[in-house]
Amino acid sequence: MDKNGGECMHHELKELAEAWAARPVEERLGMSRRGFMQFCATLATTLGLPAGAEAAVQTAIEQKRRPSVIWLHFQECTGCTESMLRAEHPTIEKLILDIISLDYHETLFAAAGHQVEAARKQAMADDKGKYILVIEGAIPTRDDGIYCKVGGQTAIELTKECAADAAAVIAIGSCASWGGMPSTGPNPTGATGVAEVLGKPVVTIPGCPPNPYNFLATVVHFLSFGALPEVDHLGRPKFAYSRLIHENCERRAHFDAGRFAMEFGDEGHRKGYCLYKLGCKGPETYANCPTVLFGDAGAGTWPVGCGHPCIGCTEQGVGFEKPIHMLAKVKNVEPPASYPSVGEAQGKGASLGSAAVLAAVTGAAAGAGAMFAKNLGKSHAEQEAAKRKDEGRQDGKADNQSVGRE
Residues 204 and 174: beta-carbon distance below 8 Å = no
Long-range contacts from 299-304, C-beta under 8 angstroms, 24+ separation: 300/250, 304/245, 304/249, 304/250, 304/251, 304/275, 304/280
Q: Is the dihedral of CA 281, 283, 289, 290 positive or negative?
A: positive
Count each helix (H run) and each strand (E run) in the chain, helices first. 17, 9
The response to whether 310 counts as a known ligand-binding position is yes
The response to whether 249 counts as a known ligand-binding position is yes
**Strand pairing category for 68-73 and 132-136:** parallel
The response to whether 306 counts as a known ligand-binding position is no
The response to whether 246 counts as a known ligand-binding position is yes
The response to whether 40 counts as a known ligand-binding position is no
Residues 169 and 133: beta-carbon distance below 8 Å = yes
The response to whether 77 counts as a known ligand-binding position is yes
The response to whether 148 counts as a known ligand-binding position is no
Those residues with Cβ within 8 angstroms of residue 123's Cβ, 6 or more apart along the chain or in another chain = 10, 68, 70, 103, 104, 131
Phi and psi at 206, nearest 5°, equal -70, 165
Q: What is the dihedral of CA 275, 276, 280, 285, to 10 degrees?
A: 130
Dist CA 162 CA 273 (whole Å): 48
Dist CA 152 CA 149 (whole Å): 6
Dist CA 321 CA 165 (whole Å): 35
Q: How many CB atoms within 10 Å of residue 36?
A: 19
Q: How many CB atoms within 10 Å of residue 109?
A: 16
In this structure, which amino acid lies at residue 55?
A
The response to whether 175 counts as a known ligand-binding position is yes
Could you list the residues known to form a binding site for [3Fe-4S] cluster, using ranges: 289, 310, 313
Could you list the residues known to form a binding site, using ranges: 77, 80, 175, 208, 246, 249, 274, 280, 289, 310, 313
Could you list the residues known to form a binding site for [4Fe-4S] cluster, using ranges: 77, 80, 175, 208, 246, 249, 274, 280
